[in-house]
Chain A
Amino acid sequence: MTWTYARWAVEHPLPVAPARHAASGTEVRAGDVIASGGTVAVVRLVDGARRVGVAPADLDRVLRVRPVADVRRGMLLARTGRRFARAATAPIDGRLVHVTADGDLCIAPVVADWRVRAAIDGVVTRSDAGAVTVEGSCWSLRGIAAYGPDGTGELSLAVDGPDDGLAPTRIDVRLRERILVGGARMAAEAITRAHACGVAGLVAGAAPAGGLRVVYGDDVEARGGASFDDRPTILCLQGFGWGPLPRPVWDGLVALAGHRASIHAASTRLYVMAPRDAAPEPSGTPLLALASDHSAVRPVEEADAGAQNVLPYDAER
C-alpha cells in the first residue's frame, strides 16, 4: 500500500538527559512539545557520596536535587549531619544530569535547549528518559530515507505534477512552517532555500545523493539520519536522483493538501492529520523500477511486475 489510514504508535527517541517529558495519558496535537532539555556537552564532576560521607548506593537518600534538574551555583545538592553538616554544592549554574556509579554528581552547563514535538495527534502511551510514544489515527505514507529533525506544518503542493522537480524559485517565506511536496526531485538548492525560508520540511520522490552530502555532510548515509539540530527536514519517498511519483501517491498528496502534516524522520514517514474520508483509500500497490544505471527510481506498469529490479512501492527496503 501507499497511503494508509490507521492507528499509529509513533516513537520519538529523545536526546540524553531530557529535563521534561509529557506524562503518559496526555493528549497532544502534532507539533506540541512533548519533551525538552538542554544539550549536554562537558560536565563538571562534583564529589557527592564521598563529600557527604555515605556509600554511593545511599546517596539517593540524601540528595536534595534529582537528575535532571536545574541548579544554581552554590546550591545544595546533598547533605548529611546536623550540627557538623557535610554538604555537596553546585560549582556552576547548570543542570544536574547524572549521578555516577561512584556517587559523583555530573553538572552540565546549559549551552543550548532542544525540544521534541509530537508527530501526530494522539495520546502519550509511553514516556521515559529514552523515548516518548504517541498513539493516534491519521493518514501515513512511508518513505525510504529521511534526514534532519522532525517537521510539522500544513501540507502544500509546490509543483504542478508528479514528474516535476521542485524549483527553488517557487519557494519563499510565505511558505514558512509548511510541509512542501516537491514531485520527482528536490535538489540541494531547493532544500537549503526552503530551510532558510522557514519551511518545515520537504517531501519528494528523490533527492540527489551528492546534494545531500552538501547539506548534511560527507557522512550522510542512504538509510537517512534523524537528528535534533537545526537542519533542513526532508523525506525521500522512493530513492535518490530522480523519482517521479506513482499516481496513487500523488493523488493522495493532492487530496490531503491543506491539512496538518509532519515528517517523522526516525520512522521515515509522512503523517497527515486528516479524517479518513479526506482521501480515497488507494486500491493496489504501484510498482517501482530501479533505472538500469541505478540513477533513478520510477513507477512502472503492472505488466512489468516480474522484470528485473522491479518492486512494489511498499516492499521492505
Chain B
Amino acid sequence: MSAARALRVALLEAQHGRLERPTRRALLAAGADIALVLRPSDPRSFGERAQALRDARPDLVLVPLADRGGADELAGLSEPLRLGCAAQLPPPRALVVSSDDGAIARAATLLAPLPTDVLPDVRAERGLRLVVERMREMRGDEQLAPERALELLAARFAEARGGPALVAGVGGDRTSLVRAAPGEAALAVHARPLGVGRAADRVVARAGLERVRRWIPWAVDQPTLLERVFNRARWPDAASSGRETLALEIALAHEALALALADAAMAGLGTEMRSARHILLTGRLAALPGPERSVLVAVDALDPIEPATIARDDGGRLAELAASAIAGGEASVLDEALLALAAPLAAVLPVVTARRTVVRIGGREERVARNAFFTVALPGPSEVSAPGMPPATVASGPLGLVVDARPRPLTLPLRDAERVPAVTRWYETLGALPA
C-alpha cells in the first residue's frame, strides 16, 4: 500500500446529523485523511478552533449544507477557518456541497477569500459521485492507483464468484474495505491514516492502547507495547521478524480493520461490508506468515453476518495484476489469475445464539453453544446454515469451516490472567498462535 500523503480534509459540519452519513461515505470512498471535524457544538473557543484549523493544514475544506439554515450555522466555523488558514500557503480550497442556492450564496460570502468550488448535495447519488471524483482529482492518479486497483479487484472477484464480494486490505498507512456485487457499483472505504506500519500509532491513538494489547496472546505491559508501536510507525515497511512483532502486527491489523469497519458503519455501510459471501484479504494482512493468521484477523475483525468463503492475495499478486489491468485497460489476465490464485482458505459460519443452537453443515446437524469457536473440516463446497440466515454454499479450503458463536462485539477480560487464556484459545483454534 502506498505511503504517499493523503488529501487532508477539514470538515465543517454545520448541520451535524443531517448530512453526516453521505459526507463520510464520500470522504472514505475518496481515501481522504479527515484532519479535523468542526461542528457548531464544538466546545473549543474561537481561538482554539482557529489554531486547530491552522495546525491541521487542510488541503480541502469540505462544507456540506442541506439548506440555508446550515449556512447560517456556518459562520461560527468559517470565521475560525478564515483566521486560521488565511495565511496558509497554498491556501486550502473550500468545497461547498449543496443544492440550495441561498445556502451556496451565503457560504460563498462566509468563506471568502478562500478559493471556493460548489457541487450538488451529497445526499443525491450524482452529488456523492461528483464529490468523490473532485477529491480524487485533487489526490492525483499516482496516489489513487492502489485504491483503484483494489476496487477493480473487488469488482472482478465478485464477477468471478457470482456474488457479493469484499476485498479487505490492511497496509502500512491505509486500511481498505471494498465491497462489490455483480452489476452493482462498488462501495469503497479507504480509511487513512490507519494501518500496521507508518500509521500504527494512529491505530493506537484511535482505538486505545488497551484495545490493541488485548489481542496479544501473552502478558505484555503497555509501555513496552507502545515503544514497539512507535518504532514501527517510524520505520517504513518494518518487517515482523520475531514472535513479539508478529503478534503486534496481528493485533494492529485487528484494530485497523475494526476501525475501518466502524468508519463504514458511520457512513451507513456497516451492514453491506459485513454481508459478503466471498472475502479476499490483501496487503499486509495477506502477507502475514501463515494463512491461518490472516483468517483469524478477518473472522475477528470483519464480523461477517452471513456465511463467507475467505481467500487471500498471497504476495499481493492479484492487486498488482489489477493495477496492471487498469494501466493496460485489459482485465482478462486478472480474471484468469483470480481463478488460479484466489483459492479458498477457510469459510466462516457466524452463529448468533443466546445459549445453544443447531446449525447445519454439509447435510449434518451440529450443536453449537454460545461462545463456541471451532473449526470443522469440509471435503469441498458444502451447504451451511444457521438460525436466522438463509443456507449458503461455502468452500472451506485447508483451514476448514470456522464456526463462530462468540457474542459480538468481541470482549476480552482486562486482567491478563483471564484474557490470555481466552485469546489464546481463539488463536489455537486456527493454529495461529505466533511461535
Contacts and interface: CB of A to CB of B under 8 A. Distances in A.
A129 B244 contact: no
Contact of A129 (B48, B86, B109, B227): B86
Interface in A125-150: 128-131, 144-145
A294 B244 contact: yes
Interface string A88-119: 00000000011011100010100000000000
Nearest to A242: B227
Nearest to A294: B228
A255 interface: no
Nearest to B51: A16
Contact of B224 (A100, A130, A295): A295
Given A43-B46, A129-B87, A294-B248, A210 B222 contact: yes
Contacts of B78: 101
B226 A210 contact: yes
Interface string B20-61: 000000000000000000000000011110110010000000
B244 A208 contact: no
A299 interface: no
A252 B45 CA distance: 45
Among A101, A208, A222, which residue has the most Cβ atoms of chain B within 10 A?
A222
B82 interface: yes
B110 A221 contact: no
Interface stretch (B145-153, B184-192, B233-241): B233-241
B238 A294 contact: yes
A239 B200 CA distance: 14
A316 B236 contact: yes
Nearest to B112: A101
B232 interface: yes
B241 A131 contact: no
A309 B241 CA distance: 9
Contact of B109 (A39, A43, A101): A101
B242 interface: yes
A41 interface: yes
A294 B230 CA distance: 9
Given A40-B50, A131-B87, A292 B226 contact: no
Among A17, A130, A308, which residue has the most Cβ atoms of chain B within 10 A?
A130
B236 A292 contact: no
Interface in A44-70: none
Interface string B208-246: 000000000000001110111111111110110110110
A135 to B, nearest CB: 16
B19 interface: no
Nearest to B221: A210
B359 interface: no
Interface in A19-52: 39-43
Among B83, B84, B227, which residue has the most Cβ atoms of chain A within 10 A?
B227
Contact of A290 (B50, B235, B244): B235
A10 interface: no
A100 B227 CA distance: 45
A42 B45 contact: yes
B227 A210 contact: yes
Nearest to A243: B231
Interface in A217-266: 219, 221-223, 239-241
A83 interface: no
A76 interface: no
A240 B87 contact: no
Contacts of B51: 15-16, 40
B89 interface: yes
Contact of A294 (B110, B201, B222, B232): B232
B48 A41 contact: yes
Contacts of B75: 100-102
Contacts of A221: 201-202, 205, 233
A42 B88 CA distance: 22
Contacts of A294: 227-228, 231-232, 235, 238, 244-245, 248
A295 B227 contact: yes
A8 to B, nearest CB: 19
B79 interface: yes
Contacts of A309: 235, 238-239, 241
A297 interface: yes
Given A42-B45, A241-B231, A100 B79 contact: yes
Nearest to B233: A222
A241 to B, nearest CB: 4
A39 B48 CA distance: 9
Nearest to B91: A130
A252 to B, nearest CB: 21
Contact of B47 (A42, A130, A290): A42
A270 interface: no
A244 to B, nearest CB: 14
A41 B46 contact: yes
Nearest to B48: A41
A208 B230 CA distance: 9
A130 B241 contact: no
Contacts of B235: 239, 290, 294, 297, 309, 311, 317
Given A293-B244, A294-B248, A130 B87 contact: yes
B87 A292 contact: no
A210 B83 CA distance: 35
B47 A16 contact: yes
Contacts of B50: 16-17, 40
B223 A39 contact: no
B46 A106 contact: yes
Contacts of A145: 234
Contacts of A316: 236
B83 A101 contact: no
Interface string B405-427: 00000000000000000000000
B223 A208 contact: yes
26 contacts: A13-B54, A16-B83, A39-B47, A43-B45, A43-B46, A98-B83, A101-B110, A101-B111, A102-B75, A108-B47, A129-B87, A130-B54, A145-B234, A209-B229, A210-B226, A210-B227, A222-B229, A222-B230, A222-B231, A223-B233, A240-B234, A293-B242, A294-B227, A295-B231, A296-B231, A317-B234
Given A102-B75, A219-B205, A222-B231, 19 more contacts: A16-B50, A40-B45, A40-B50, A43-B45, A101-B78, A101-B79, A101-B111, A129-B86, A130-B87, A210-B227, A221-B202, A222-B229, A223-B233, A240-B230, A292-B245, A297-B231, A297-B235, A308-B241, A309-B238
What 5 pairs across the A-B complex have the smallest Cβ distances? A210-B223, A130-B87, A40-B47, A222-B233, A294-B228
